[in-house]
Amino acid sequence: MVHFTAEEKAAITSIWNKVDLEKAGGETLGRLLIVYPWTQRFFDKFGNLSSAPAIMGNPRIRAHGKKVLTSLGLAVQNMDNLKEAFAHLSELHCDKLHVDPENFKLLGNVLVIVLSTHFAKEFTPEVQAAWQKLVIGVANALSHKYH
Amino acid sequence: MSLMKNERAIVMSMWDKMASQAEAIGTETLERLFCSYPQTKTYFPHFDLHHGSQQLRAHGSKILAAVGDAVKNIDNLESALTKLSELHAYILRVDPVNFKLLSHCLLVTLAARFPTDFTAEVHEAWDKFMSILSSILTEKYR
């Protein structure tokens, strides 16, 4: 089980409390689809994904990005028991969405980069390290129920 | 996988913005690497890895200079990187997984230092460029 120190928790929440879920969520999902175009395979029904501007301007992608990032709020609230917190979502991603868990790692790293653009100097190596720990914890929790 | 014309242009134009801060960017990249991925420190038992250490700055500089050379030779990366490829394969033998970690930390550094310039398109082109460099550097491993 992942253990977060008091400093790591503080680093994570200090950033999280200032995150604009829609803006950061839309950007994160948009960048995922642009930087790793094969991830578009899960979004065939989302409308125009034909170019980077199209993806970033796509309202359905923005909305879905917000949904995904809101779920990450679950992680911030449950840092001490990620596996339990994400059990249901893990089953969903396996049984209904059929998402390769590798994608959770890609998304996590894209989120870290988006946070870095938003928070710049505040996103120090130590803050980044706490967030890397969180996103890999979430990725593992989301793949825990796969069968 | 190879860079398309527009990706090449993006990589080169971003490098122009980075060049003057190369040492700082290289150093910060390494600090982020060692902080987020402490296992990478196993390759540097002989280094003083404290913030601001001369060795860290020199090594960060060296790495970014190599990236800069790659940018200057973007049309023939394989031949330009032959020596470095051999160095990594026969002498350094850094496990291939670490190239992804270093690349990621470079991108995080660029994002922090150039928040408006580091658009999705720039992110994509640099992620791809670093992926290609990593491939070439591990090409002779076996």
Q: What tokens does B34 get? A: 């060692």
ipTM of the prediction? 0.91
Mean pLDDT across the stretch B19-34?
98
Kindly report the pTM of this predicted structure.
Answer: 0.94
Q: What is the DSSP letter of A3?
A: -
Confidence tier at B81 by pLDDT (50, 70, 90) = very high
pLDDT above 90: residue B1: no
Q: What is the DSSP string of B32-99?
A: HHHHH-GGGGGG-TTS--STT-HHHHHHHHHHHHHHHHHHHTTTSHHHHTHHHHHIIIIII---THHH
Length of chain B: 142
Residue A120: which region, alpha, beta or left (left: phi > 0; alpha: psi -120 to 50)?
left
What residue ranges of chain A have pLDDT lower than 50?
Answer: none
Q: Which residue of A has its CA nearest to B29?
A: A125
SS3 label, residue A1: coil
Question: Looking at the complex, does the CB of residue A112 fall below 8 Å from at least one CB of chain B?
Answer: yes
CA distance A91 to chain B (A): 29
Residue with tokens 């028991």: A81
Give the integer Cα–Cα distance in Å for A45 and B17.
38
CA dist list (Å): A112 to A16, A24, A59, A83, B105: 12, 10, 22, 21, 10
> Taking the CA of residue B20 as centre, how many other CA atoms within 13 Å lie in the half-sphere pointing to its CB?
5
Distance between CA A79 and CA A73 in Å, rounded?
Answer: 10
Res A139: pLDDT: 97
What's the rounded Cα separation, in Å, for the pair B127 and B71?
Answer: 13
- Work out the minimum CA distance from A144 to partner chain B, whole angstroms: 22
Assess A9–B contact: CB distance below 8 Å, yes or no. Answer: no
Is residue A81 classed as helix, strand or coil in its secondary structure?
coil
Using alpha carbons, select from B18, B10, B9, B20 the residue that is nearest to residue B113: B18
Residues of B with CB under 8 A from a CB of A: 28, 31-32, 34-37, 104, 107-109, 111-113, 115, 118, 120-121, 123-124, 127
B31, B34, B108: residue with CB nearest A116: B108
Work out the pLDDT band at B70, boundaries 50, 70, 90.
Answer: very high
A121, B112: Cβ pair inside 8 Å? yes
Over residues B33-46, the mean pLDDT reads 95
Instruction: Give how far Cα B53 sits from Cα of B47, B60, B105, Å.
Output: 9, 11, 19
Selected residue of B108, B127, B129 to mutate for chain A interface (largest A Cβ count, 10 A): B108
